[in-house]
Structure 1
Amino acid sequence: MYPKIDFIYLSEPDIIEAGVLDAGRCVEVCEETFSLLGKGDYLMGGANHNSHGMSIVFPAKSPFPNMPVAGPDRRFAAMPGYLGGRFDICGNKWYGSNHANAEKGLPRSVLTMMLNDKDTGAPLALMSANLLSAARTGAVPGVAAKHLADPEAKTVSVVGCGPINKSCFIAIMTQLKTVKKVICFDIFQDKADEFAEWVSETYGVAAIGVNSAEFGFRDADVITVAASRLQPLYFRDEWIKEGATVLVSGPVNTDESFLTSAKIIYDHTPLHEAYVEDAIGSGDKEAYYSGVIGGPLYRLIDQGKLPLLPLSTGLGDVVNGVKKGRTEKTDRVIFIACGMSVFDISWGYELMKNAQKQGIGTSLNLWDKPYQS
């Protein structure tokens, strides 16, 4: 007899009820995930087990009338993985992205998350993942802030005032207890002002909106970067004070002098090695580097100006106490995060367990008995 298979479906309201907006708890779960990454108790896609995911990128032209063509942020991607420890589960985040979604009143990306039994492959949970993904994206620099930032930081700068950086800022603020001022930079002044008003109302600290990149970076203790891919973002070495921590969750470029003098901490060095392997395999390494967050660092590594990735430091090693993060109060630290499916899996697992305990969600049936076996 083959067993009946049921699984839980969690809508966006369901995952809100299950705790997806609990930023402090998400940081804790992501810190646990970093520890497992540092120990190697995980798998992701690709032959190297460290691929960010597999994407469909559309051509500039197509002879087929219904085939999508390239556009800003237009792609589909699957991000599979396995995570060990207490999670011991497989999963996949699947999403479609298109900047033109805004014209239809939709988010840029529409995401779902599937969790599966590691042995049978049976589905355990299918859930809305826009808020899940935003929460774990924010929690990653939240973990970095805990381990790398000056614990007495007074000024935080938000570079890019969209929903992803809002999640980053919320998570970072769960770890920093001495913040007195927040600078909000966006190329659109009204977005910067709106974000600053929200900060003041929510946290009771002074906040200002600016549309000058220099004002966004200069003299801040902690800087979270998650700006749009649609306009290049550049910051200068001279803007970054001693002891500052720059938490990068989106594309950015800077002076070579800053990257070669700052202490660089990667989210997970094998992930970045996989990016470099993909760049080589693409046949146009330079073009590939231009499209990924770590590209400016990979160029300097190729030129021998930065240590090779296997000799560099990942945040999992810092969390596990294997390597040092910040060693001096005056260190300027830059943290590079590129996104990994294991964080979606761990936070999705936590939400699934919460939902099961609270009776949240809808039970769906795959079969009572498989037609074929």
Structure 2
Amino acid sequence: MYPKIDFLYLSEPDMIDAGVLDAARCVSVCEETFSLLGKGDYLMGGANHNNHGLNIVFPKETKFPNMPVAGPDRRFAAMPGYLGGRFDVCGNKWYGSNHANAQKGLPRSILTMMLNDKDTGAPLALMSANLLSAARTGAVPGVAAKYLVNKDAKTASVIGCGPINKACFAAIMTQLSGIEKVVCFDVFLDKANEFARWIEATYHVSAIGVDEAEQGFRDADVITVAASRLKPLHFKDEWIKEGAAILVSGPFNTDESFLTNCKIVFDHTPLQEAYVEDAVASGNKEAYYSGVIGGPFYRLIDAGKLPSLADSTGLGDVVNGVKPGRESAKDRVIFIACGMAVFDISWGFDLYKNAIDKGIGQSLNLWEKPSQA
């Protein structure tokens, strides 16, 4: 087949045809990925092989007229990785983000995903990745719901009513058949009401929209958090009922009394350790902690009020039966997900294989014969 190289291009409509919106399948693939993480059959960026990715963050001021300056959620990021198991492939998610995109009718982030042969580096597929990324972001708490939420859960809360939490809720619902009532919180009530209407139409359960955070947290058996980085979120210990599970996919803060009196499960503890390494290297740990999802935990670990990350529980260990997840129906459990390229790789690879089997997408030619061989 070599030296000629062709690769597959998948547009967003192609990705939909290939099954990117299949939440149940995505949860299954992400559960498989967690197992590989727990076994160590993966690589990500950085010298520690566990970095979330590499960001370009723009300066507040610049003397260069064409260089972008800092703005809300404005950055570029590359998230490379290798995943073993049946995937056995390398990949990189690349995205640019800018909150001002909404003024142009665009999503906040625009993402693409490239899969590459692990041996030659040859491209296998280039795909639209907004729906891919949202689906895998949602599927991660979907896996957590399978292992950490009480199976008789009847009430759910959605904290932050944007597209990411829609993917999270869809994935969580593949694992919880007993949900009867959903409360949707957003600082913008119209968004909360719109989300509630979608839930009622899609899942035929009772749903209401609220714009007071306490209403969103109280009395819920399972809570999915994916609030905006631009709107700081704080919930109180007293709002969280016995036996509740909080599945966190976005920034938050809460009372120290809650974090020191709940069961904590991280997506992957080496990833969290890499965040702390980056915080130390930044020279301003406190500022760094304020910008990452795990920040509230890192502060308490530094203060000796929580076990070290090395002694903490990752979901891969729970999936593999190495460590327990929920140990009692009365446990209050919090799950922290920060996002990893290996999930984009696994879900992207699965969709790539689907596309090939179904004849979806466009074949593009890199070269017939390389000029520099």
| 2: CA distance, partners of 1:356 / 1:101 | 33
| 2: CA distance, partners of 1:46 / 1:217 | 37
| 1: CA distance, partners of 2:214 / 2:2 | 64
| 1: CA distance, partners of 2:65 / 2:24 | 48
Matched with 2:13 is 13
| 1: CA distance, partners of 2:231 / 2:25 | 33
- Answer whether contact 1:263 1:334 (CA < 8 A) is retained: yes
The runs of at least 4 aligned residues of structure 1 exceeding 3 Å deviation read none
Matched with 2:44 is 44
Q: Deviations over 1:219-248 (max 9, x none)?
A: 100000000111110000000000000000
Query: 1:2: Cα distance to partner?
Result: 5.4
| 2: CA distance, partners of 1:44 / 1:248 | 22
- Answer whether contact 1:227 1:251 (CA < 8 A) is retained: yes
Q: Deviations over 1:180-201 (max 9, x none)?
A: 0000000000000111011111
Equivalent residues in 2 for 1:348-363, closer than 5 Å: 348-363=348-363
Distance 1:196 1:2, change over 3 A: closer
Equivalent residues in 2 for 1:24-39, closer than 5 Å: 24-39=24-39
| 2: CA distance, partners of 1:166 / 1:94 | 22
Query: 1:121: Cα distance to partner?
Result: 0.3
Matched with 2:119 is 119
Aligned partner letter, 1:180 = E
| 2: CA distance, partners of 1:22 / 1:291 | 31
- Answer whether contact 1:90 1:345 (CA < 8 A) is retained: yes
Matched with 2:239 is 239
Aligned partner letter, 1:232 = P
Query: 1:358: Cα distance to partner?
Result: 0.3
| 1: CA distance, partners of 2:61 / 2:46 | 28
Matched with 2:212 is 212
Q: Percent identity?
A: 80
| 2: CA distance, partners of 1:77 / 1:208 | 36
Equivalent residues in 2 for 1:64-79, closer than 5 Å: 64-79=64-79
Equivalent residues in 2 for 1:255-274, closer than 5 Å: 255-274=255-274
TM-score (norm 2): 1.00
Aligned partner letter, 1:302 = D
| 2: CA distance, partners of 1:141 / 1:30 | 10
Query: 1:40: Cα distance to partner?
Result: 0.2
- Cα RMSD (Å) of the superposition? 0.7
- Answer whether contact 1:2 1:370 (CA < 8 A) is retained: no
- Answer whether contact 1:6 1:364 (CA < 8 A) is retained: yes
| 2: CA distance, partners of 1:45 / 1:229 | 24
The gaps in structure 2 that reach 5 residues or longer are none
Aligned partner letter, 2:264 = I
| 1: CA distance, partners of 2:38 / 2:252 | 26
Q: Deviations over 1:46-77 (max 9, x none)?
A: 00000000000000000001000000000000
Matched with 2:165 is 165
Matched with 2:203 is 203
The gaps in structure 1 that reach 5 residues or longer are none
Q: Tell me, what secondary structure is at the counterpart of 2:250? A: coil
Equivalent residues in 2 for 1:310-349, closer than 5 Å: 310-349=310-349
| 2: CA distance, partners of 1:53 / 1:33 | 18
| 2: CA distance, partners of 1:248 / 1:2 | 45
Is 1:98 the counterpart of 2:105 in the alignment?
no
Aligned partner letter, 1:38 = G
| 1: CA distance, partners of 2:35 / 2:97 | 30
Aligned partner letter, 1:334 = I
Q: Deviations over 1:108-137 (max 9, x none)?
A: 000000000000000000000000000000
TM-score (norm 1): 1.00
Aligned partner letter, 1:9 = Y
Q: Tell me, what secondary structure is at the counterpart of 1:20? A: coil
Q: Tell me, what secondary structure is at the counterpart of 2:76? A: strand
Matched with 1:288 is 288
Matched with 2:135 is 135
Q: Deviations over 1:274-331 (max 9, x none)?
A: 0000000001111000000000000000000000001000000000000000000000
Is 1:88 the counterpart of 2:98 in the alignment?
no
| 2: CA distance, partners of 1:360 / 1:215 | 45
Matched with 1:156 is 156
Q: Tell me, what secondary structure is at the counterpart of 1:261? A: coil
